[in-house]
Structure 1
């Protein structure tokens, strides 16, 4: 309720009530409205300046929530990278080793992570470093998972072919012996029997009587069956999976080129052809066209004790027969 105003009248020596006219009242109302508006504006400006608008505060909260989610996502991506790295290590060092497959090169696993800046469209965002870092991690993990998936597909094929592979690996001796004294030379540096010089011997020599059966040491295909200088009559079997075996100084053949053979099948007969100082068979195992020690592949033929005895005897032979 508006206050009543009085004015002192000296003539009547009394206070008289002041009656405001309509114009005065309008002016007073406008003054109150103007002062209230100015005060309201000042308060709103101060409030927005120091505390922000409701929309701004909402956006700030959303931004903080997004940052928290990005940080949690980065933490989870780090865990996924560790799990994926463990899978890659197992793949290269266990599964592929078992099946004698080459490990996947790191350049293939990390393919596509370099090159032009494909994240330039993110550089103008707030917290762009965090967003770009997270995007890179997601893309790299996706690519690595794809490569690993393809690797497991190939390993699955290897598993399906496991029995075929195991049957193909040269895993027995080419001649039936139990007396290891018939090993006339092992794999490694030996004295050449003709030139009497030190020379590397690429296989193992087994002596015996002419006509003794010679066996295929694994499933495969005959790719060579002819006489070769130095080797004499020679048979080569391609077993697949990078393996080949060589049988030399033979007396005769029991197979022909292009023929498929099984492990344990008689392919030839022991002889004394080529550069040979006595009846024997020269036997080689080649992996990826490089000779390896055949003694490491007799695991289907020998017990542990027999294998140890053969290794000890082969190490003490000093001269080859070819």
Structure 2
């Protein structure tokens, strides 16, 4: 039951009953409803912000975790990019130079991907820009890694060939120093012993007693072991590969060959013995080196078994213009 309110009327000197107007009552009711609605809405947002449900909190935590993971992956990509950059630099400036291979241009190593948009599926997603940038960085890194892998495979082949080349080059003296009487004649113009005219001598003559061992100067395959070349007498030719061939002439008559055609030999193997067959004036070994079918000076290849002093002495003797022995 509502309370009845009175007020004092000074004119009549009596109490009168308060009459509530309907309009005032309506506005008061409306104000109450508005205040109640605002209070309820505030409580809703407060509950959402501070009293969220376990499922919503779990989802929010997962999103934050994924963002942290994304940042970690970006850091890993940067570190890996630095590592591959270091390997690329070594590859271009050390390995490929050592093996006489052309460096791989940076444009080729770091080229992008042309054509269609590879990352369209990520557009419109949360953190799309960051995800697209990360995916692009990873794809570039994969491509650079693939190119570097191919380069290292090429380097491995070159290294294997280099090892074979170093073993195949005719790099030692075909007659040991202790077996030499003297180095009779070198590469260049010399006086022919038979007609006394000045002509080019394409090899080196090592004088030594008959039967002195002759050594293969590099790994290779015996190409010839016969007396069917004019002037050389009993001689051997070894194909070393890589365009190199060595020739050993004027071998002895009895059992001149310690090898046969088609036989593989190693540097330092005894292949024959000093003699004086063919166009020869005295027992000696005539030795020649061919590169791509052109005769070259053998003096440039004796780095395998001579000391610097021995090499200098041999060089001086080889440059003297004297009479050759063949």
Check if 1:31 corresponds to 2:34. yes
Helix, strand or coil at the partner of 2:205 = strand
For 1:139 and 1:129, how far apart are their aligned partners in 2?
A: 16
Instruction: Please tell me whether the aligned partners of residues 172 and 301 of structure 2 are also in contact (alpha carbons under 8 angstroms).
Output: yes
What is the TM-score with the length of structure 2 in the denominator? Answer: 0.60
Check if 1:281 corresponds to 2:311. no
Helix, strand or coil at the partner of 1:126 = helix
Which of 4, 7, 16 matches 2:18?
16
Helix, strand or coil at the partner of 2:140 = helix
Instruction: Please tell me whether the aligned partners of residues 190 and 322 of structure 2 are also in contact (alpha carbons under 8 angstroms).
Output: no
Helix, strand or coil at the partner of 2:238 = strand
Q: What is the aligned partner in structure 2 of residue 245 from structure 1?
A: 246
Helix, strand or coil at the partner of 1:182 = strand
Q: What is the aligned partner in structure 2 of residue 270 from structure 1?
A: 275
Distance 1:225 1:306, change over 3 A: same
Instruction: Please tell me whether the aligned partners of residues 189 and 321 of structure 2 are also in contact (alpha carbons under 8 angstroms).
Output: no
Q: What is the aligned partner in structure 2 of residue 117 from structure 1?
A: 114
For 2:242 and 2:261, how far apart are their aligned partners in 1?
A: 19
**1:111 Cα deviation from its structure 2 partner:** 7.5
Aligned residues between the structures: 291
Helix, strand or coil at the partner of 2:118 = helix
Instruction: Please tell me whether the aligned partners of residues 206 and 286 of structure 2 are also in contact (alpha carbons under 8 angstroms).
Output: yes
Map 1:186-265; keep pairs closer than 5 Å: 186=187, 190-191=188-189, 193=191, 196=198, 202-207=202-207, 214-218=214-218, 220-226=220-226, 227-229=228-230, 231=232, 233-239=234-240, 243-250=244-251, 252=253, 253-254=256-257, 255-261=259-265, 263-265=268-270
Distance 1:237 1:74, change over 3 A: same
- Highest Rg: 1 or 2? 2
Distance 1:104 1:230, change over 3 A: same
For 2:134 and 2:316, how far apart are their aligned partners in 1?
A: 63
Instruction: Please tell me whether the aligned partners of residues 209 and 274 of structure 2 are also in contact (alpha carbons under 8 angstroms).
Output: no
**1:19 Cα deviation from its structure 2 partner:** 8.8
What is the TM-score with the length of structure 1 in the denominator? Answer: 0.60
**CA offsets per residue over residues 86-129 of structure 1, 9 Å max, x none?**
36755446xxx6xxxx4555459998865852784137551545
Structure 1: which 5+ runs fail to align? Answer: 44-53
For 1:85 and 1:192, how far apart are their aligned partners in 2?
A: 51
